[in-house]
C-alpha cells in the first residue's frame, strides 16, 4: 500500500524534476597560467578584459594596471576579494599574482594562529599541511563566490618548477609543474588544478642545434631558447615535459603563442556552459 507520504514526497532543498535544465549560466573561465621566469605571465593577464590585480609579490609593480596594495598577510587576500564582491565596480578579470606567494602567506597564517608561531609544530606529523589545505579551499571558495556574484574571470599566476614525476605506466621522468605544494599527502597543486577550468604552461620555444653523435648512437645537441616575437608559447594539453588541462566543454589548441589576442580568439570560439 502506498502511503500519503510516498504519494507526495517533500522537495529536497527546493529541487524537483521541474528544476532540471539542459544547460547552465555561462560563466567566464577560471584559469591558472604558470611558466618559467621572465616569460611574461603578469603582462599576459594585464591585457585581459578590465583586469584588477591582487599582488602577493612585486611582479606587477612596474606594469600600468589597476592593482591592490601589496598583500602581506593571508587576511588581506580575503579582504580584497570581499571588497570586490560587495562594492560596485567595472572590473571583469581578477588576477592573483601570484598563487604560490599567496600560499606562503597561508603557511605564515597557519603557523601563527594554529601553532603559536612554531614551525616545528606545523611540520610535526604533517599536521600543519592539513590546516593549510583547509585554508586554501577557503580561498578557492571565496574566488568561486566572486566568480559567480560578479561574473568575473579568474586568473591565477604561478611560477614553474621541475619536479620528478612518478610514472605508474613506465619509467619516471622530470617535468614542469607549478610551484604550489605537491606531496603524496597534501597537494595544493592538485586541488587547484582540479578547481580550474584551464591550466596553461608558458615557456620559451626551444630549438636543438648542432645535433651529432657516434655512428649508430644517440644524437646529441644543444638546446637553445628562441628569442623575439613568437618565441613565447603556451601549452594547453598535458605532455611528458609539462602538465596542463582544458576542462571538457572548452576549446583550446594544444599549443599557441602566449598572447591575449590568440587566447581570446580561441576562448570566445569555444566557451563552455556551466555544467557541461
Cell for 75? 587576511
Asked if pLDDT for residue 7 goes beyond 60, the answer is no
Cβ atoms of 114 and 128 closer than 8 Å: yes
State which fold the 27-269 domain adopts: Rossmann fold (3.40.50)
Give the side-chain half-sphere CA count within 13 A for 44.
29
275 confidence band (pLDDT: 50, 70, 90)? very low
Cβ atoms of 56 and 77 closer than 8 Å: yes
Nearest to 107 by CA among 74, 61, 82: 74
Nearest to 246 by CA among 232, 263, 230: 263
Mean pLDDT of the chain: 86
Helix or strand (DSSP H, E) at 6 = helix 4-7
pTM for the full model? 0.84
* pLDDT tens readout for residues 181-240: 998 788 999 999 999 999 999 999 865 555 555 555 555 545 445 555 558 999 999 999
Question: Stretch 82-111: mean pLDDT, rounded?
Answer: 97
**Within 10 Å of residue 262's Cβ, how many Cβ atoms?**
13
- Rounded distance between C-alpha atoms, residue 195 and residue 249, angstroms: 15
Q: What is the pLDDT of residue 35?
A: 97
Q: Is 174 exposed, middle or buried (0-12, 13-18, 19+ CB in 10 A)?
A: exposed
Asked if pLDDT for residue 274 goes beyond 50, the answer is no
* pLDDT tens readout for residues 18-28: 777 776 668 99
Question: Stretch 134-151: mean pLDDT, rounded?
Answer: 98
Amino acid at each position: 500500500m502506498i502511503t500519503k507520504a510516498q504519494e507526495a514526497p517533500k522537495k529536497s532543498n527546493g529541487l524537483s524534476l521541474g528544476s532540471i535544465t539542459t544547460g547552465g549560466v555561462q560563466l567566464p573561465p577560471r584559469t591558472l597560467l604558470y611558466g618559467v621566469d621572465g616569460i611574461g605571465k603578469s603582462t599576459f593577464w594585464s591585457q585581459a578584459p578590465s583586469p584588477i590585480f591582487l599582488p602577493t609579490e612585486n611582479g606587477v609593480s612596474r606594469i600600468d594596471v589597476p592593482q591592490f596594495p601589496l598583500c602581506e598577510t593571508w587576511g588581506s587576500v580575503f579582504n580584497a576579494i570581499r571588497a570586490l564582491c560587495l562594492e560596485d565596480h567595472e572590473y571583469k578579470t581578477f588576477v592573483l599574482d601570484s598563487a604560490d606567494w599567496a600560499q606562503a602567506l597561508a603557511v605564515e597564517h597557519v603557523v601563527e594562529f594554529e601553532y603559536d608561531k612554531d614551525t616545528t609544530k606545523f611540520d610535526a606529523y604533517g599536521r600543519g599541511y592539513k590546516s593549510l589545505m583547509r585554508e586554501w579551499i577557503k580561498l578557492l571558495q571565496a574566488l568561486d563566490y566572486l566568480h559567480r556574484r560578479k561574473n568575473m574571470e579568474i586568473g591565477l599566476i604561478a611560477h614553474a618548477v621541475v619536479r620528478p614525476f612518478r610514472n605508474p605506466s613506465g619509467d619516471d621522468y622530470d617535468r614542469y609543474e607549478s610551484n604550489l605544494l605537491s606531496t603524496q599527502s597534501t597537494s595544493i597543486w592538485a586541488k587547484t588544478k582540479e578547481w580550474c577550468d584551464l591550466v596553461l604552461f608558458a615557456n620559451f620555444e626551444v630549438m636543438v642545434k648542432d645535433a651529432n653523435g657516434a655512428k649508430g648512437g644517440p644524437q646529441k645537441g644543444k638546446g637553445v631558447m628562441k628569442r623575439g616575437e613568437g618565441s613565447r608559447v603556451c601549452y594547453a594539453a598535458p605532455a611528458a615535459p609539462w602538465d596542463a588541462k582544458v576542462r571538457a566543454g572548452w576549446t583550446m589548441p594544444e599549443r599557441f603563442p602566449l598572447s591575449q589576442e590568440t587566447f581570446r580568439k580561441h576562448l570566445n570560439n569555444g566557451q563552455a556552459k556551466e555544467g557541461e
